[in-house]
Amino acid sequence: MSPQISHMAQHFGIVLGSAICWQCQQNTSVSALLLDKFQQRFDEDDPWEQTTEPSLLGFISFISPEAENAWLQEAPLVALAATRSSEATYYANHCSHCGAVQGDWHLREPGAAFFPVDATGIDSLTLRWIRKPIQAAASSAQSSWQDELVARYPQIRQ
């Protein structure tokens, strides 16, 4: 079965941060993907919509191979995982110490790695642009911290 692509872009961003593992309480690297100019559709029959609002991808169940390679080079702790809280298999961060899956919801709660609530939280993140096309099956969410992060890394954005 071919994956239902929900997001397409000509480039994408890799967000790198850190989180405290819920299982072993140690600090571990975590990563997420961000799109700033992309097309999305909510259902296979919907038309593609152009979007220029930075959006963080979540629950990525499929990613095109070239983009996947680029991501996993930057974030080797990311791998497909089946989690208890979610029926589906998706790309999740794994703890570098104990291997526990760091759930997507958990990382995107207010105050967590991928929902900074102040400048210090944004300071702790790094954004790396990848000049490669991406296709993904995922959800996406917009938030003002993503605008701020993108503004700090203007290399690709025009």
**Shorter beta-carbon distance to Zn ion: residue 95 or 130:** 95
At its nearest, how many Å lie between Zn ion and the CB of residue 84? 16
24 interacts with Zn ion by CB under 5 A: yes
Residue from 80, 98, 119, 141 binding Zn ion (CB under 5 A): 98
95 interacts with Zn ion by CB under 5 A: yes
| 3-class DSSP state of 36 | coil
Neighbouring C-beta atoms of residue 83, cutoff 10 Å: 17
Residue from 4, 10, 23, 27 binding Zn ion (CB under 5 A): 23
At its nearest, how many Å lie between Zn ion and the CB of residue 22? 8
> Cβ distance 34 to 153 under 8 Å?
no
> Cβ distance 14 to 71 under 8 Å?
yes
Please, what is the Cα angle at 126 between 123 and 130, to 5 degrees? 155
Contact residues toward Zn ion (CB under 5 A) are: 21, 23-24, 95, 97-98, 100
